[in-house]
Amino acid sequence: MAPSILIVGATGNTGRAVARTLPKLLQSSSTLSGNRIIALTRSSSSPVARELAKVPGVEVIEQNWVEITAEWLREQQVVRAFIASHNEPNQFAEESTFHLNALDAGIEYVVRISTTSANVRPDCPAYYARQHWAIETLLSSPEFSNLHWTSLQPNIFSPLIMNPAAEFIKKYRKSGEQDTLRLMLSEDAPVGIIDPDEVGVIAAHLLSHDDTSVHNKAKYILNGPEDISGKQIVDMIEQHIDAPVKDVIYKDVSFIDMVYEYQYAATNQSKQVIYSIKRAPETAWEGKCSASTTSKEILELAAPKIAPADVLKTLLEE
C-alpha cells in the first residue's frame, strides 16, 4: 500500500475543493506523485461522495473521523492530512484527539481549517473561536514539535453572507413582493468574505508542497479578493430587481435562535454557550476583517479570485 494523504471532511464546504484539486497538484510533485488520496465521508452514498469517487486518484472511504485511531492512521499509511472539523461545543475534545493520534502515528503534516483570524484569541466571546485558539496553542506546544501543521483562518464564507440576497431576489422576481432583508454584515464596515472552494484550493496547495517545514506552525489569514459591506449588498440587489429595497436589518444574527431551537434545544448543551455565536460578527462590524488582512503567503500560493458578485450569480442560478 502506498503512503496516503487523508482528507477529513471531504464532502464539506472546503474539503470538496481539496479532493478535486489535490490529484492534479500531486502529479507535478517530486515526492508525492505516488501517494494515495483518501476522501473520508460518513456516507459513501451521498451525492458529493459519489461525485468525488469519480475523481481520478481519489479513494472514498466511509469512516467517522472522530473514531479514527493512531492504529487506523498507520494501517492506511497516512503521511499528511487535511481536517475541517465541526464547530460543536465538543470540538476541542474531538479535534485534539485526532491531532494526538496523528502525532502518535507519525504523520508528517496536517492542514486544518480554523476560523476568522480576528476571533482566534482566548477572550473571544464566541465559544468556537476560543476552541480554535486552543487547538492552535496545543499544536504550538513543544510536545507536538514532530507534527508539522498549518492553520488556515478564513474569513466568513461568502455563500452564508450572500444567500439572503439571492433568496430576496428570487422571491421578488417570482412574486413582486419584498420581505424584510436581513443581513449579517453591518451597513458600512468592509468585510473580505471568501468562497469556501478557494479555501480548499489553498489547502490542497499546502498539502502538495514538497517541503512541509516552509509552512510549519503558520497561521494564515484568508479573505476574498475584495471587500463588501451591507450597503453594497443592498445596492447589488436593487440592480438585480430594478427597485429599491424597502426594509433592511443590518447586523442580523436572529438565525442563531433557529439554530438553537432546532439543533440544540432538545440537548443538554448550554444555551449561553450556543448563543455566544451571536457575538462572532462583532470584529467584522468593527472593520477588523477586511481583505487587506490576507496573509501574503496566501496571495503567492493561490490568490482568491471569486468576488461577491460572482457568488451571488452562482446562487441565483441554483
- Indicate if 69 and 204 belong to the same structural domain: yes
CATH number at residue 73: 3.40.50.720
**pLDDT of amino acid 318:** 87
In the block, which residue shows the cell 471568501? 194
Domain presence at residue 24:
yes
Q: Sorting pLDDT into bands at 50, 70 and 90, what band is 44?
A: confident
- Indicate if 77 and 210 belong to the same structural domain: yes
pLDDT, tens digit, for every residue of 198-249? 999 999 999 999 999 999 999 999 999 999 999 999 999 999 999 999 999 9
CB–CB of 115/132 below 8 Å? yes
- Indicate if 142 and 262 belong to the same structural domain: no
Q: How confident is the prediction for the chain on average, in pLDDT?
A: 96
Q: What is the pTM of this model?
A: 0.95
Domain presence at residue 27:
yes
Domain presence at residue 297:
no
Domain presence at residue 231:
yes
Q: Sorting pLDDT into bands at 50, 70 and 90, what band is 90?
A: very high
**pLDDT of amino acid 294:** 98
Quote the domain boundaries for residue 177.
158-192+224-289+306-317
- Indicate if 218 and 184 belong to the same structural domain: no
Quick one: what percent of the chain has pLDDT higher than 90? 94
- Indicate if 246 and 99 belong to the same structural domain: no
Taking CA 63 as the corner, what is the angle to CA 52 and CA 72, rounded to the nearest 5 degrees?
Answer: 115
Kindly state the average pLDDT of the residues 7-15. 95
Count of the separate structural domains present in the chain: 2
Domain presence at residue 298:
no
Measured CA to CA, the distance from residue 25 to residue 275 in angstroms comes to 41
- Indicate if 204 and 259 belong to the same structural domain: no
pLDDT, tens digit, for every residue of 152-189? 999 999 999 999 999 999 999 999 999 999 999 999 99
1 pLDDT more than 80: no
Least confident of 9-18, 29-38, 232-241, 280-289: 29-38
Q: 3-state SS string over the chain? A: CCCEEEEECCCCCCHHHHHHHHHHHHHCCCCCCCCEEEEEECCCCCHHHHHHHCCCCEEEEECCHHHCCHHHHHHCCEEEEEECCCCCCCHHHHHHHHHHHHHHCCCCEEEEECCCHHHCCCCCCCHHHHHHHHHHHHHCCHHHCCCEEEEEEECCEHHHHHHHHHHHHHHHHHHCCCCCEECCCCCCCCECCECHHHHHHHHHHHHCCCCHHHHCCEEEEECCCCCECHHHHHHHHHHHHCCCCCCEECCCCCHHHHHHHHHHCCCCCCHHHHHHHHHCCHHHHCCCCCHHHCCHHHHHHHCCCCCHHHHHHHHHHC
Domain presence at residue 294:
no
Measured CA to CA, the distance from residue 162 to residue 117 in angstroms comes to 21
CB–CB of 260/271 below 8 Å? yes
- Indicate if 88 and 216 belong to the same structural domain: yes
Kindly state the average pLDDT of the residues 15-28. 95
Residue type, 224: G
- Indicate if 165 and 231 belong to the same structural domain: yes
- Indicate if 93 and 165 belong to the same structural domain: no
- Indicate if 68 and 133 belong to the same structural domain: yes
Domain presence at residue 299:
no
Nearest to 302, CA basis, from 228, 220, 218:
220
Kindly state the average pLDDT of the residues 126-150. 98
CB atoms within 10 A of CB 6: 28
79 pLDDT more than 90: yes
Residue type, 76: Q
CATH number at residue 168: 3.90.25
Nearest to 24, CA basis, from 203, 198, 208, 212:
208
Q: Sorting pLDDT into bands at 50, 70 and 90, what band is 92?
A: very high
- Indicate if 216 and 113 belong to the same structural domain: yes
Q: Sorting pLDDT into bands at 50, 70 and 90, what band is 29?
A: confident
How far, in Å, are 16, 31, 81, 184, 201 from residue 312 at the CA level?
A: 20, 40, 32, 15, 20
What separation, in Å, do the N-terminal and C-terminal C-alpha atoms of the chain show? Answer: 41
- Indicate if 131 and 217 belong to the same structural domain: yes
CB–CB of 129/275 below 8 Å? no
